Structure 1
Amino acid sequence: MFGGGGRGNKGRGGRHSGGGRGQRGGGGGGRSGDHEQLRPKHQLCKYFVVPNLNCNQGDNCKFSHALKSHIQLEASSEIKQQKNNGYNNNYNNNNQKRKHTVSSAAIWENQGMIKIFTGSNDGFWRLWNSANGFTQEFEKQMSDGGKVNCVEVASNFLFCGFDGICPKLPNTKVGMIHAWNLSSPQDPPLEFYMEKDNAPYAHSFSISSLFVTNQGIVLSGSEDSTIKVWQFENNAFTLRKTLAGHVRAVTGMTVVSSASLNMLWSCSVDETIRLWDLNTGDCKHLISSETTKNQQTGQSAGHQAAITSLINFESKGMGNFVLSGSFDG
């Protein structure tokens, strides 16, 4: 269910001073208790839907009316049930309409129209067009039917990270990235690979995050714990650097730029945030649960659980921040 623009963001977290690129929620019930009664207001009301905005609770609703939910997209297919020769029929009946997980979404505004790209674990990315009430315009199944883990739209390209099979390693799934030029979508996609002949894939494990800078540099994070830096030249995306330091999946990235420095912020399931100099590839700073924010109280500046996302936030009154989301609550 989509309402409003922005990147997807999971979890709750803190803020870090930085600089200059939302939340996923749903309506549901809360538990009793003074503390718990405060929490549902941070969740969106599922009945506050355009055009009727037909929540009959009004101001008494326990859920937030901060965003209007415009439409719900059925962006994934049903999970096919395997035949079990009559065994465990109750389980199959209860799960006949289960659907694959929608892994990611990206918004593209073009000539006054809003288009949404979605990726799913069923191996498809899909395109939805606002001109026809967000009906499905196109879908593409990735090679080998591997899960689509993330999609990103930038610089007039659609980037898709998915699980694929390398012909030289037919029994092992690897992380693939394809890019479609949206000016000529009928053309074959551009493929990312570490080395064309012996390593024709982007990462050794699944792609877990993608980010494109204002300069068109593509950054890919993976479950192999590395970040790769790609640059477009000679009609191909060429690997320029590999950033190593995280020890678990890289789940989010954002770039803070100044006149002399491009600083990449990355977060990971390893509960850390790292700051990298994109010009040199060096890790300049590490924020973890052991990083002290307040010398007197010993308060930590880091998270104590997997970090799921990062986003740039600029406030005219308070300055620039990088916000982080985590499962530590």
Structure 2
Amino acid sequence: MSRHFNGNQFGGRGGERGRHRGRGDRGRGYQGGRKVDDASAPAPLLTPCKSFTLNGSCDRRGCKFAHCVTRLFCLDAASPKKQDNSNGGGYGHRRNYGGDKQFDPISCMAIWSEAPPAAVPPVPGAPPEQIKLFSGCHDGTWRLWDSAASFRKQFENEMGGRVGALVVSNNLLFCGFEKECPLLPGVKVGSIHAWNLQNAASPPQEFHAEDSAVHPYAHGRIVTSLLPVPDGAGGVAVVSSSEDGLIRVWRFDTGTGKFMVFRSLMGHARAVSGLAYSEGLLWSGSEDHSIRMWDMSKGSCGKVIAGGSEGHSGPVTSLLAWGSEKLGAFVFSSSLDGTIKAWDPAGKMLKMESHGDGVMTIVTTTDEAGNPLLVCGLERGNIMVRSLPGAGDLPALTLLIKLSDQYTCSHTNGPVRCVQAGAGPAGIFYSSGDDGKLMVWQFKGNLAQLSK
């Protein structure tokens, strides 16, 4: 497995500059209310054509820039800001990004791939499923967007507090959010609700860590991540993490008809910011700069990755499991220290790459030719795209594209909070940020070939 991050495919420990088409984006300046220096950031192999990125076409004969990505939609997906949440918790939330804060951040997204109704005849050439997108916002609302109607807003639901996590599994929508505790007036706690998407009119199920009369909430602080995992009994459990530093594993109890706490995992000293499941182990990342690997059957932490030559030197922001039967299993981590790291299932670091900016969020997807890619959302609103093993003959984690508001288009006024992919036409991915925008993108062509 590790051979895919060694030799020709490894391409060095990080910071590759390499060849690139068009101008690089490595200027210095001020953005987000603090001085930034992009000198340490690598140059991408491809420089996207701005006209093609914005319009899907370019009329310049002999254009020297790459026609490799198009922004299909840019939606105003948050309500105008009513109050200042700049001091809210969570990694990066306590930083002052400056700018004109007109909207609350869109913190999370989840994709719902819905089978069309049996009574509706199939449309020739149409995808076999209907793709819809949920977005969660710090304005206290989650919203549903319909891809079949140019991402028109189909529905919204007010939660009463910041939404921190969304995930869809087995036709259930799980939402982690913040709300005032009924037992403790003025105190906000972390809650989880679950809706049956096949019976949307029914009320959501509420998760309570203990007896709802004395503990009517899931966590002591806002929920930051939700992850469906195998429950060990042929079903699915849901893992939640929170700013309270706790991780909870929830199983559905057929006797009560509710999700109940199966295990609580304690060990992180700060907010838990990311979860991943790989090869039977649960991985968690935290603002305490560490990554922990858990045996959920025993409820024990088998390994802590912190500091030293392999651990992150800043808050861990995201974890992502990826792999295939041919390539093996990997876990990727991102951090405000500006790096992403690739790990094997035993927790050995295989490769690291730097970005010259804090990395807020990551997701895997493919281009139209099926080449696997890693999309990284950055702290200053930029998006970087890297190759994964199996993308032609490119070394793993080669930087292919940088999208920035300065030269092409991307998010402004702060971080990219979430990137998402996984269903629909090839090459599609989604991004959201502090600017209240939800963007729909599509890679065009074979990026491994275009980069040669």
For Structure 1 versus Structure 2, the TM-score category normalised by the shorter chain is: 0.7 to 0.9
Unpaired runs of 5+ residues, structure 1, are 1-13, 16-27, 83-93, 291-299
Label 1:37 to 1:273 Cα distance change in 2 as closer, same or farther (>3 A). Answer: closer
Aligned-pair Cα RMSD in Å:
3.0
Aligned to 1:210: 226
Label 1:65 to 1:220 Cα distance change in 2 as closer, same or farther (>3 A). Answer: farther
Cα offset for 1:227?
A: 0.1
**CA distance in structure 2 between the partners assigned to 1:177 and 1:58 by the alignment:** 53
**CA distance in structure 2 between the partners assigned to 1:55 and 1:200 by the alignment:** 60
Aligned to 1:325: 334
Label 1:280 to 1:29 Cα distance change in 2 as closer, same or farther (>3 A). Answer: same
The aligned runs of 1:180-329 (5 Å cut-off) are 180-195=195-210, 196-214=212-230, 215-234=235-254, 235-257=257-279, 262-290=280-308, 300-314=309-323, 318-329=327-338
Cα offset for 1:131?
A: 1.5
Unpaired runs of 5+ residues, structure 2, are 1-12, 15-23, 29-36, 85-98, 116-128, 339-452
Label 1:120 to 1:55 Cα distance change in 2 as closer, same or farther (>3 A). Answer: farther
* 2:150 is equivalent to residue 133 of structure 1: yes
Choose the corresponding residue for 2:109, options 89, 105, 114: 105
* 2:136 is equivalent to residue 119 of structure 1: yes
**CA distance in structure 1 between the partners assigned to 2:62 and 2:262 by the alignment:** 54
Quick one: percent identity of the two aligned structures?
A: 40
Give the alignment's TM-score, normalised by structure 1. Answer: 0.75
**CA distance in structure 1 between the partners assigned to 2:324 and 2:198 by the alignment:** 34
**CA distance in structure 2 between the partners assigned to 1:241 and 1:38 by the alignment:** 43
- Letter of the 2:215 partner, please give it: A
- Letter of the 2:151 partner, please give it: F
**CA distance in structure 1 between the partners assigned to 2:59 and 2:333 by the alignment:** 31
* 2:166 is equivalent to residue 170 of structure 1: no
Aligned to 2:369: none
Give deviations 1:186-232, integer Å, cap 9, x for gaps.
10000001121101100011111111114421100000001001011
**CA distance in structure 2 between the partners assigned to 1:271 and 1:287 by the alignment:** 9
Matched pairs, number? 275
**CA distance in structure 1 between the partners assigned to 2:63 and 2:42 by the alignment:** 15
Give the alignment's TM-score, normalised by structure 2. Answer: 0.56
Cα offset for 1:57?
A: 10
**CA distance in structure 1 between the partners assigned to 2:216 and 2:307 by the alignment:** 37
Aligned to 1:31: 27
Label 1:69 to 1:212 Cα distance change in 2 as closer, same or farther (>3 A). Answer: same
Q: Residue 127 of structure 1 contacts residue 138 of structure 1 at CA under 8 Å; is this kept in 2?
A: yes
Give deviations 1:14-54, integer Å, cap 9, x for gaps.
99xxxxxxxxxxxx954069956844668977754476245
Cα offset for 1:59?
A: 6.1
**CA distance in structure 2 between the partners assigned to 1:245 and 1:58 by the alignment:** 57
**CA distance in structure 2 between the partners assigned to 1:326 and 1:173 by the alignment:** 27
Choose the corresponding residue for 2:81, options 79, 82, 99: 79
Q: Which has the bigger relative contact order, CA under 8 A and spacing at least 6?
A: 2
Label 1:202 to 1:326 Cα distance change in 2 as closer, same or farther (>3 A). Answer: same
Give deviations 1:157-183, integer Å, cap 9, x for gaps.
111111111111111000011110111
**CA distance in structure 2 between the partners assigned to 1:317 and 1:58 by the alignment:** 39
Label 1:284 to 1:172 Cα distance change in 2 as closer, same or farther (>3 A). Answer: same
